[in-house]
Amino acid sequence: TVTVNKQQYESRGASIHALSLHMQDFVKILGLKHRREVAGKSAIFSGEHFVLEETDWYLLNLFRLWWHYGISFLRLQMWVEEVMEKFMRIYKYQAHGYAFSSLEELLRSLGGDAFVNMTQRSVAESLLEVGVTQRFVDDVIAAVLRSSYGQSVLVPAFAGAMSLAGAQGSTWAVEGGNKLVCSGLLKLTKANVIPARVTGISLHSSEGRALYQVHYEGSEGQGSAFYDMVVVTTPLHPSRSNFTFENFEPPIADFPGAFQPSVTSVVHGYLNSSYFGFPDPKLCPFTSILTTDTPDLFFNAMDNICPVNISAAFRRKQPQEAAVWRVLSQQPLDKQQLKTLFRSYYSVQVTEWQAYPRYDAAKSLPPIVLHENLYYLSGVEWVASSMEMIAVAAKNVALLAYNRWHQDLEKIDQKDLMHKVKTEL
């Protein structure tokens, strides 16, 4: 939960606009470096055989896609590019200080009602409508969504488009780990971080304005503080919310919806290449294996992961060597399943978490404004869940709070923003 005092907020208003940059610009400001890419090949596994295999030759990869799926991959690329081209407008809007009071208004400003409707219909339905074949959806689209969201092709079209855009190889990582972006920004803004868990927020009033008392528990016991403005960043859903709202009328209740459980197993061991059709481990060329939506498959994806620091001399392990693999599944892997994937292994580290919204669990989008100066950030995950979406939503909340505080209503929920932005240049 992020809190802001009136004096602090007014004195630092200009800083909000100063941080109005792409994430890549943040990296430059913080003195961080992009992590070097390490080449590797991917494949899609059906449980019995590989339905699609990547090679070292770009033209051969295109030919295989065409041979198996016709021009579906071109139709997919055109659809994703159209969505992303419109989505990128948000950076221009935010650079000019425009904000939106609801997720529906934000989406509508980017792609009209079509973008709003994309949160209510499945990615499979949208792709079939533009001419992508059912086979391509079942093989490729399903594999990507199982890897990213752990769910099927029934996820909403907008979330699916974001996932498919990330799968096209345009993403990047930071040397030393992406967490350095967050810690670097906290240091850059000189934020006063209180290492404690928020347990509740109660409403008070002061001079006709809302005043919020934030209760928390830390290593030194319980405490509280008063703030003029609060941004809630934890999901407000029954399975995740662990604090209460007091004195609000009407009451602020949990929003409907559930989260998709995900299990990440980091295994240091020898891949059982025979399970994937390669009796000789030296002949298995894949460093990333995605899976189709097959009932008997007990994992969603697995990949040979690299360290967060890549030296100039770093090389991937050979297929027959022990390597570190990340296995994504919906349930913890038992010993027999681990034995199926690995000939032997040295260690297994398991992390279970509520990773993403279960997109079939709710059809309405949560609000951004919970009260006069009480804002909610995590609702954007129900549009699409990714680091970029959270960054965009955080910038929107900052601009919205700033504009509302200073009564600059011309910067909130404006129509025809593309025309307005052009005239302001």
292 versus 206: which is more confidently predicted? 292
Residue-wise pLDDT tens digits, 379-413? 999 999 988 899 899 999 999 999 999 999 999 99
Residue-wise pLDDT tens digits, 62-95? 999 999 999 999 999 999 999 999 999 999 999 9
What pairing do the DSSP bridges indicate for beta strands 301-304 and 50-53? unpaired
pLDDT at residue 88, rounded to an integer: 93
pLDDT at residue 280, rounded to an integer: 95
pLDDT at residue 420, rounded to an integer: 81
Q: Where are the beta strands (DSSP E) in 24-83?
A: 41-45, 50-53
Report the chain's mean pLDDT, rounded to a whole number.
88
pLDDT at residue 369, rounded to an integer: 97
Q: Report the distance separating Cα 144 and Cα 111, nearest Å.
A: 24
pLDDT at residue 12, rounded to an integer: 31
pLDDT band at 10 (very low <50, low <70, confident <90, very high): very low
11-15, 109-113, 162-166: the lowest-pLDDT one: 11-15
Which residues, 6 or more positions from 363, have their beta carbon under 8 angstroms from its beta carbon?
A: 120
Residue-wise pLDDT tens digits, 226-282? 999 999 998 888 766 677 899 999 999 888 888 888 999 999 999 999 999 999 999
What is the CB neighbour count within 10 angstroms for residue 400?
22
210 versus 254: which is more confidently predicted? 210
Residue-wise pLDDT tens digits, 412-421? 999 888 878 8
Question: Which two structure tokens, joined as six digits, stand for 128?
Answer: 């079939």
Q: Report the distance separating Cα 210 and Cα 229, nearest Å.
A: 8
60-69, 162-171, 322-331, 346-355: the lowest-pLDDT one: 162-171
What interhelical angle do 157-166 and 72-87 show, nearest 10? 100
Length of the chain: 425
pLDDT at 4 over 60: no
Q: Are 210 and 374 in contact (CB under 8 A)?
A: yes
Element (H, E) at 290: strand 286-291
Query: pTM of the full predicted structure?
Result: 0.88
